[in-house]
C-alpha cells in the first residue's frame, strides 16, 4: 500500500501508513523504504527524503542499497539540486545502476544544466552501448544548446547502429476490443 500511494504521488499517505505499520510493531524493510523514498521523489520532498533515508539505517538497521541511493539522486535531480546529486554520486561507496545516471541526465535536460549533462552523458556512454532512449536524450540536449552538428552526429550513430526509438503507445479496452494509440 505504501508503494501504491508513493507511485501515485500521495507521499503523505505513505508516511501515515508507515507510522501505522510501525505502531503495530511491524518492522519496515528495504522495500518499505524504497516506497517511501519514491513517494518523496514524485512529490519533490527533499527534506523528508533525507530524514527517512538517514532513519533507515540509524533507527531500523536497514542498510541502504544502490536502489535507495538512486532514489535519493532522483529526488535531488527532480528538484533541480543537480550539483548535489552529482556530488553524492561521486562520493558513494557503491556502484550505481546505469539507470541512475540516465535519470540524472534526464534531470539535467529538464533543468537545462547542459554542462553537467555532458559529463553525465559521457558516463552513460562509457557504461553501456548507446541505446535509443539515451541517444535521443543526448541529441535533444545538444539541440537545446544549439549544437546541431553534435545532435546530428548522435542521431547518425543511432541510425548506423540500427538503433530505433520505440514509438510511445497506450491502449484501452472497450466492450471486449483493444484500441491501441501510437504517438
pLDDT digits (tens, 9 = 90+) for 108-165: 999 999 899 888 888 877 777 677 778 888 888 888 888 899 889 888 888 887 777 6
Is it the case that residue 183 has pLDDT exceeding 70?
no
User: At residue 74, does pLDDT exceed 70?
Assistant: yes
For the cut 70, the answer to whether the pLDDT of residue 30 exceeds it is: yes
Q: What is the DSSP string of 107-144?
A: HHHHTT-HHHHHHHHHHHHHHS---HHHHHHHHHHHHH
Structure confidence at residue 166 as a pLDDT band (50, 70, 90): low
CA distance 158 to 163: 5
Give exposure, 73-86, as e/b (b: 16+ Cβ within 10 Å).
bbbbbbbbbbebbb
Q: Is 28 helix (H, G, I), strand (E, B) or coil?
A: coil
pLDDT at 182 over 80: no
**Containing domain of residue 67, as a range?**
2-182
Who wins on pLDDT, 129 or 72? 72
Q: In the predicted model, what is the mean pLDDT of the chain?
A: 88
pLDDT of residue 75: 93
Considering its fold, how many domains does the chain have in total? 1
Given this model, what pLDDT does residue 37 score? 94
What's the CATH code of the domain at 68? 1.25.40.10
Q: What is the mean pLDDT of residues 45-65?
A: 94
Amino acid at each position: 500500500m505504501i508503494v501504491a500511494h508513493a507511485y501515485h504521488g500521495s507521499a503523505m499517505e505513505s508516511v501515515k501508513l508507515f507510522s501505522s505499520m510501525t505502531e503495530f510493531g511491524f518492522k519496515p524493510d528495504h522495500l518499505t523504504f524504497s516506497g517511501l523514498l519514491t513517494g518523496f521523489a514524485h512529490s519533490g520532498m527533499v527534506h523528508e527524503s533525507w530524514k527517512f533515508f538517514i532513519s533507515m539505517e540509524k533507527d531500523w538497521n536497514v542498510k541502504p542499497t544502490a536502489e535507495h541511493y538512486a532514489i535519493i539522486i532522483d529526488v535531488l535531480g527532480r528538484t533541480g539540486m543537480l550539483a548535489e546529486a552529482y556530488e553524492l554520486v561521486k562520493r558513494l561507496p557503491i556502484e550505481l545502476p546505469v539507470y541512475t545516471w540516465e535519470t540524472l541526465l534526464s534531470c539535467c535536460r529538464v533543468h537545462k544544466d547542459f554542462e553537467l549533462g555532458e559529463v553525465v552523458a559521457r558516463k552513460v556512454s562509457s557504461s553501456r552501448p548507446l541505446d535509443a532512449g539515451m541517444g535521443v536524450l543526448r541529441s535533444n540536449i545538444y539541440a537545446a544548446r544549439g549544437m546541431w552538428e553534435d545532435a546530428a552526429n548522435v542521431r547518425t550513430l543511432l541510425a548506423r547502429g540500427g538503433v530505433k526509438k520505440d514509438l510511445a503507445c497506450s491502449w484501452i479496452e472497450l466492450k471486449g476490443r483493444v484500441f491501441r494509440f501510437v504517438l
